[in-house]
Structure 1
Amino acid sequence: MDPDRVLEGLDPEQTQAARALRGPVCILAGAGTGKTRAITHRIAHAVAGGVVSEQQVLAVTFTARAAGEMRGRLRSLGAPKVQARTFHSAALRQLGFFWGEAVGGAKPNLIKSKVQAVARAAHSVGQQPDRTGLRDLAGEIEWSKVTQVRPSDYDKAVAKAGRQSPLPEGEVARVFEAYEELCREEHLIDFESVLELTAAMINESPKIAQRVRDQYRYFVVDEFQDVNPLQKLLLDAWLGDRDDLCVVGDPSQTIYSFTGATPDYLTGFGDRYPHATLVRLVRDYRSTPQVVRVANHVIAQAKGATSAHHLTLRAQRPDGPDPIYQEYDDEPAEATGVARKISVLLEEGVPAGEIAVLMRTNSQTAAYEQALGDQGVPFTVRGSERFFERPEIREAVHLLRGARHGAADGEDEPLVRTVRHLLAPLGLVEQAPEGRRARERWESLSALAQLAEDVAAKAGSAGGRATMAHLVDEIDMRMATEHAPGFEGVTLASLHAAKGLEWDAVFLVGLTEGMMPIIYAETDDQVEEERRLFYVGVTRAREHLVMSWSLARSPGGRKSRKPSRFLDGLRPASPSTPGRRDRRKGGVVRCRVCSDALTDAVERKLGRCLDCPSTYDEALLERLREWRRLTARDQKVPAYVIFTDATLQAIAEQEPGSVSRLSAVSGVGSVKLDRYGEAVLALVAGRDPEETVAGDGEEEDE
């Protein structure tokens, strides 16, 4: 390919980055400024111009999906042989290749679950932490290993770092030592040890070092602000005394300091390489000017905002709607208000998959799951577990692979029907269960079934017929690139989990002091990291940005909360009141049996305490559930999107005989009243809802 043609379509700053063919090069790239475009075109330009061969390039990033995206772009630019990998993937490959020469003997097994290994280590020293405690301990061990802290030095390192230990320092050190002993005894290795051993192998063996450095001569590292000391140790081993290194990052998006990551390597790049080329990417192609103004204001208040590494974004998109700042009386009201705004966006044509509700902690999702379910809005909770690593997906893929090998050439059954039949025993039932874990499992399997439909549709449009082999090939490609099939619904996620993603509409919720910044952010540096986390949340939005907070935790509670300090200078001087009017019911909700105040979401929906006596027509409840099942099937949505179990039970208990009484049942909002009101009232009255609708239609025709 003509080297100059590779540069077509780049903006001036991206072109400057792509023309800087020899390192050291530092690219400071703000959110939405096209950094992946810049670095892939730089690599392709260098390959096309003969500066370096494809096989000698190593591009490193932090997620398998980002690496897969980079490989895809490089293929389209005529450089398909470039290696784009994560640190762990590249190191594991090299360690496995040289193991026999460097160490000898059988290769160790990679730990599949660090939490389980930590649990065994903890039990061996008399500790019995719960699952949250185990995750915290695993995090401390990871932090210790990436910062090169040994068990005997843990207490001193924690004190020096100003870090809060999940257990007394001595106890964490004992678990850490037991974990390392467990790995030695059972010939296990974790990802931190993979990096450490690979770096040691290169540094201690001149022969291996020469072979590795002959193979890779041209390095690019993305998200350089997230590099930790162990990754930097490995990178230095790869480089040796060379400087053909291009790093890309944004100090304003450093949000993983608690894991050992540090922006110092990015901000100090010029000190290490005084002759480095510095390029700034500031043209924001993702967000509207209104969103960009919020982002620039947030980060301009940060400590060190006047430094040479601070970037002020320049919006390139047309104007969009102004950001919304909303105050609510309490958390349930905030969740309800957000769900209603989302319903409006959906009616205006914004796809559910292009909407996200982002919050500081995973524990905040429950209220929004309830509120979105009440509004009939499908949603999915994004966790830290990768799609293809989920147990049900591993099992499903195993089944599909087996079906591929066992399929006859003819394959008489349609692909989609076959897939649904195979996945049914794993939990792909007709309607989604309401328990969170069961629903997440159902959503995962539904996403695979939807992928089968997409594969079948693609084959059909080309005049062919999809087979199991086509589906398995598609799954293999997606596994290699971490491109998980999606469940079409509103995303609920923590701000950390949202890094690297973007949506048309973003709701940032729970923006109060104590939550944003989080209450345990005590030092100036910790507060600044919280500010950067908020900045990351803001910059996920392309067009619609809604920021909200509530004054009390529960209805009727003391309204003592304060909006986040990060909103200072952004929100209106006097708090807005629409959020309070947005609630369907004000004040305290009381049990209709004993009159006690109700705070639990399910109790508020039922209108009574769970332990208060209540009678209801079991036959009516069964009719409501069957109607919901059929309606969910016809609309191809989870059953909880129609009505939750708690709402159906409330209807069965209260037996509303009119539209006004039905609208008073918690969980029956205006949208659901319009969609399902007549059918529900018909069921309560003992009539067939289809006959009622048909009769109404005939009357109108006359």
Structure 2
Amino acid sequence: MVGINLAQDLLNLTPDSFEQPVATPELFIKIDRLAKITKEIEKNLVRSQAREPALHKKLKINYSKALNPMQLAAATATEGPVLVIAGAGSGKTRTIIYRVAYLLERGVPPEQILLLTFTRKAAREMMTRASRLLKDDRGTRIMGGTFHSFANHMLRRYSKLIALKPDFTIADTTDSADIIDFVRRELKLDKKKKAFPRKGRIQEIISKARNCDVPIPAIIEDQYTGLSEFTDDIELVAAGFTGFKRNHHILDFDDLMEVMREALKQSEPFHQRMAHLFRYVMVDEFQDTNTIQKEISDLLASKHRNIMVVGDDSQSIYSFRGANFENILRFPETYPDCAYIRIEQNYRSSPDILDFTNSVISQAKIGYRKHLFSRKKRKGKPEVRGFYDQTSEAEFIVDKILELREAGVPTSQMAVLYRATFHGTFVQAELLKRSIPYVVYGGIRFTERRHVKDMIAYLRIILNPLDAVCWNRVLKLIPGIGSVTASKIVRHVREHGGKFEFADFERSKYGVDLVELGDTLGRAADPHLSLASKIELLRAYYAPILANLEADHEVRLRDVGVLYELTARYEDLERFLSDFALDPPSNQFQDRTTPRIDESEEDPVVLSTVHSAKGLEWNTVFVVHLLDGLFPSDKAVGNIEE
């Protein structure tokens, strides 16, 4: 169901309410080129695979029984480049799982298969299910994970080939913003008369420029025109940001991609090792890769050319993170001889919804031809409702939720989706008013909670005593220490080789607390101490600090307890911290650590951004705030390509 909110103050919105984009000659040329690529690849279209290829008698799994004809064609296409366009709900994951199993049954060693996915959870699920099909552990022995986790693993493992120290620490997005803030203050840019961009916005600009592989001025001119007067200063911050990370032995997420790409391009021994290791490369959700990730994929597959990419150009929703949907459109340009397979049978939605979807997809100027279909029975067309304000919209949705609950639909099978979190505020209020439990996806992540980041900072200092970002964070928890003093202490640590010794500060007003911190970190750094014991020691130290900071400190300490649970399967601190940064607990895990809206036994209704809902499904879905300028955003309305 689609809810359209026609709020009174938005009634006058028309296409003229937005700055209309102008199509340039260059854009027309690009559109024509992409349209030509997607049209010409039709000649490579694989129609179907009616039965298993040769050796089918020796295979334990009956692939033709388990898969539909086009899924089978994809699962058994092993040699050379393969492009699979898999529509929403078409069994894409199942197809990849069976392809992994098929390769293994054909005798390919697990270590020669690389599966790159959007999340490590997805990779683990596919690997585990492949092993279940084969009834052995081969599926779990392939190399699977995200681009970032794969790069982290390989850069550490083969660091000697590329002259990289393997004990670097990984900075997440928040850490990167903190470094940028430090550099910004060091350059005195926070003292300018005009409001200089905040750290988060600068981090966003720098990251987008790197992910799109374009200069910072080009990104600002294209997407942040209001900040054009600060372009030179932002470039200065970017240079300082890079220098700071290099000096403190830190890599951020973007560094992992850039260093991996440069290692593959510049180090022939490293490139050859990767090519030797991985004979088969598979990339899931290829429409959500960025420019650098596409280049990494091509470099990894350059020797054997056995690369399969799976995705759907109609499902690209991460351009704000630098994802480039052109990657999947241009795949045939890179591999003109690729096999082209379309999986169009949908197992999730009714024909009514697919009719609606096909109608929308058909209006795209460029893209792969596709027509989704389903064998399910028709259940009625999607509803479009208009409202004059957000209150009446929220009341209607909650009325409908109660009606569906009475009809036997579990509340956990209902979801309200929106583009931005604040769009769900009125629905939340109405659910609270009527005592209906709900849970919010896409809010503050478990890993971004202040107290969790404090604990992680202590652990990162143990691993890398020169991590200035984490030192700055934990030092400011001590009364009497601000930014200036923290910087002074960080310099002291650096000059003394990362030792936790603070005798020089004993006479200061914060001396006793600083010495206690150093003593605690020193004991926690004992290599004979288990990871769980390290966390117990740090938790005991941190508990009174948290009690002085937060009234609900007991609730927050539960999150620290969750950290203890997460370390159960780890013996190595470096691996735990890398996984925590690259594969943070999911929204579902986060919800388990968050107090419920009430103590009801009833499962909650899900409220989520569309980005956090990717890959999930429910019986009933409400989409709210469908207004030009809100959903889609004004940035999309004002962009001719969007």
TM-score over 0.5 for the pair: yes
What aligned pairs does 1:466-477 form with structure 2 within 5 A after superposition?
472=568
Aligned to 2:59: 3
Match of 2:624 among 505, 509, 516: 509
Could you tell me which amino acid in structure 2 is paired with residue 37 of structure 1? R
1:297 and 2:353 aligned: no
1:145 and 2:260 aligned: no
Aligned to 1:215: 277
Aligned to 2:430: 371
1:115 and 2:177 aligned: yes
Hey, what's the Cα distance between the residues in 2 that align with 1:441 and 1:320? 49
Specify whether residues 172 and 504 from structure 1 end up closer, same or farther in structure 2 by C-alpha distance, changes over 3 A only: farther
What aligned pairs does 1:151-300 form with structure 2 within 5 A after superposition?
154-159=216-221, 162-165=222-225, 167-168=227-228, 169-300=231-362
1:347 and 2:406 aligned: yes
Hey, what's the Cα distance between the residues in 2 that align with 1:248 and 1:443? 41
Aligned to 2:96: 39
Hey, what's the Cα distance between the residues in 1 that align with 2:196 and 2:561? 29
Percent of pairs with identical residues: 29
Instruction: Give CA deviations for 1:157-204 in whole Å, capped at 9, x if unaligned.
Output: 543xx3235633334323322322322232221111111112222322
Hey, what's the Cα distance between the residues in 1 that align with 2:555 and 2:372? 41
SS at match of 1:248: strand
Task: Report if aligned partners of 1:226, 1:256 keep a CA contact under 8 Å in 2.
Answer: yes
Hey, what's the Cα distance between the residues in 2 that align with 1:343 and 1:448? 36
Hey, what's the Cα distance between the residues in 1 that align with 2:185 and 2:307? 45
Could you tell me which amino acid in structure 1 is paired with residue 410 of structure 2? P
SS at match of 2:323: coil
Hey, what's the Cα distance between the residues in 2 that align with 1:512 and 1:440? 41
Residue 136 of structure 1, CA deviation = 2.5
Could you tell me which amino acid in structure 2 is paired with residue 327 of structure 1? G
Specify whether residues 299 and 441 from structure 1 end up closer, same or farther in structure 2 by C-alpha distance, changes over 3 A only: farther
Hey, what's the Cα distance between the residues in 1 that align with 2:554 and 2:362? 42
Task: Report if aligned partners of 1:108, 1:187 keep a CA contact under 8 Å in 2.
Answer: yes
Could you tell me which amino acid in structure 2 is paired with residue 87 of structure 1? F
SS at match of 1:271: helix
Aligned to 2:126: 70
SS at match of 1:80: helix
Aligned to 1:60: 116
Hey, what's the Cα distance between the residues in 2 that align with 1:131 and 1:47? 56
Specify whether residues 29 and 326 from structure 1 end up closer, same or farther in structure 2 by C-alpha distance, changes over 3 A only: same
Task: Report if aligned partners of 1:158, 1:164 keep a CA contact under 8 Å in 2.
Answer: yes
Instruction: Give CA deviations for 1:52-105 in whole Å, capped at 9, x if unaligned.
Output: 211100000121222222222222223221111100000011111122342155
Residue 425 of structure 1, CA deviation = 10
Hey, what's the Cα distance between the residues in 2 that align with 1:141 and 1:315? 44
SS at match of 1:17: helix
Could you tell me which amino acid in structure 2 is paired with residue 138 of structure 1? Q
1:20 and 2:77 aligned: yes
SS at match of 1:219: strand
Specify whether residues 274 and 520 from structure 1 end up closer, same or farther in structure 2 by C-alpha distance, changes over 3 A only: closer
Instruction: Give CA deviations for 1:365-416 in whole Å, capped at 9, x if unaligned.
Output: 22222111112111222126554665566889999x999879xxxxxxxxxx
Task: Report if aligned partners of 2:287, 2:312 keep a CA contact under 8 Å in 1.
Answer: yes
Specify whether residues 53 and 106 from structure 1 end up closer, same or farther in structure 2 by C-alpha distance, changes over 3 A only: closer
Could you tell me which amino acid in structure 2 is paired with residue 64 of structure 1? R
Specify whether residues 448 and 470 from structure 1 end up closer, same or farther in structure 2 by C-alpha distance, changes over 3 A only: closer
Task: Report if aligned partners of 2:156, 2:166 keep a CA contact under 8 Å in 1.
Answer: no
What aligned pairs does 1:556-571 form with structure 2 within 5 A after superposition?
none
Residue 481 of structure 1, CA deviation = 9.3
1:360 and 2:410 aligned: no
Aligned to 1:326: 385
Task: Report if aligned partners of 1:377, 1:489 keep a CA contact under 8 Å in 2.
Answer: yes
Task: Report if aligned partners of 2:291, 2:327 keep a CA contact under 8 Å in 1.
Answer: no
Residue 250 of structure 1, CA deviation = 0.4
Instruction: Give CA deviations for 1:145-166 in whole Å, capped at 9, x if unaligned.
Output: 122335xxx224543xx32356
Task: Report if aligned partners of 2:431, 2:437 keep a CA contact under 8 Å in 1.
Answer: yes
Match of 2:187 among 119, 125, 144: 125
What aligned pairs does 1:540-689 form with structure 2 within 5 A after superposition?
none
Hey, what's the Cα distance between the residues in 1 that align with 2:414 and 2:152? 37
Residue 227 of structure 1, CA deviation = 1.4
Specify whether residues 371 and 94 from structure 1 end up closer, same or farther in structure 2 by C-alpha distance, changes over 3 A only: same
Hey, what's the Cα distance between the residues in 2 that align with 1:274 and 1:75? 33
Aligned to 2:199: 134
Count of residues paired in the alignment: 476
Could you tell me which amino acid in structure 2 is paired with residue 49 of structure 1? R
1:97 and 2:97 aligned: no
Taking structure 1 as the reference length, what is the TM-score of the superposition? 0.61
Specify whether residues 124 and 250 from structure 1 end up closer, same or farther in structure 2 by C-alpha distance, changes over 3 A only: same
Aligned to 1:421: none
Instruction: Give CA deviations for 1:246-294 in whole Å, capped at 9, x if unaligned.
Output: 0001000122223322222211222222221111011111112222222
SS at match of 2:72: helix
Hey, what's the Cα distance between the residues in 2 that align with 1:403 and 1:301? 55
Residue 508 of structure 1, CA deviation = 0.5
Task: Report if aligned partners of 1:396, 1:426 keep a CA contact under 8 Å in 2.
Answer: no
Residue 120 of structure 1, CA deviation = 1.9
Task: Report if aligned partners of 1:225, 1:250 keep a CA contact under 8 Å in 2.
Answer: yes
SS at match of 2:78: coil
Hey, what's the Cα distance between the residues in 1 that align with 2:124 and 2:364? 33
Could you tell me which amino acid in structure 2 is paired with residue 497 of structure 1? S
Could you tell me which amino acid in structure 2 is paired with residue 65 of structure 1? K
CA RMSD of aligned residues (A): 4.0
Residue 238 of structure 1, CA deviation = 1.6
Instruction: Give CA deviations for 1:115-152 in whole Å, capped at 9, x if unaligned.
Output: 222222332333449999433322211111122335xx
Aligned to 1:628: none
Instruction: Give CA deviations for 1:563-612 in whole Å, capped at 9, x if unaligned.
Output: xxxxxxxxxxxxxxxxxxxxxxxxxxxxxxxxxxxxxxxxxxxxxxxxxx
Task: Report if aligned partners of 1:111, 1:188 keep a CA contact under 8 Å in 2.
Answer: yes
1:30 and 2:90 aligned: no
Residue 438 of structure 1, CA deviation = 10
The more displaced of 371-380 and 141-150 is: 141-150
Residue 245 of structure 1, CA deviation = 0.2
Specify whether residues 385 and 23 from structure 1 end up closer, same or farther in structure 2 by C-alpha distance, changes over 3 A only: farther
Residue 20 of structure 1, CA deviation = 0.8
Task: Report if aligned partners of 1:136, 1:166 keep a CA contact under 8 Å in 2.
Answer: no
Hey, what's the Cα distance between the residues in 2 that align with 1:83 and 1:147? 26
SS at match of 2:408: coil
Aligned to 2:45: none
Residue 442 of structure 1, CA deviation = 6.4
Hey, what's the Cα distance between the residues in 1 that align with 2:341 and 2:189? 51
Aligned to 1:409: none
RCO comparison, higher one (Cα < 8 Å, 6+): 2
Could you tell me which amino acid in structure 2 is paired with residue 368 of structure 1? V
Is there any run of 5+ residues in structure 2 with no aligned partner, and where? 1-56, 460-528, 535-542, 571-575, 593-602
Residue 13 of structure 1, CA deviation = 0.8
Aligned to 1:695: none
Aligned to 1:691: none
Task: Report if aligned partners of 2:86, 2:342 keep a CA contact under 8 Å in 1.
Answer: yes
Aligned to 2:28: none
1:498 and 2:613 aligned: yes
Instruction: Give CA deviations for 1:192-250 in whole Å, capped at 9, x if unaligned.
Output: 11111122223222222222211111000001111111112222232234310000010
Hey, what's the Cα distance between the residues in 2 that align with 1:131 and 1:495? 31
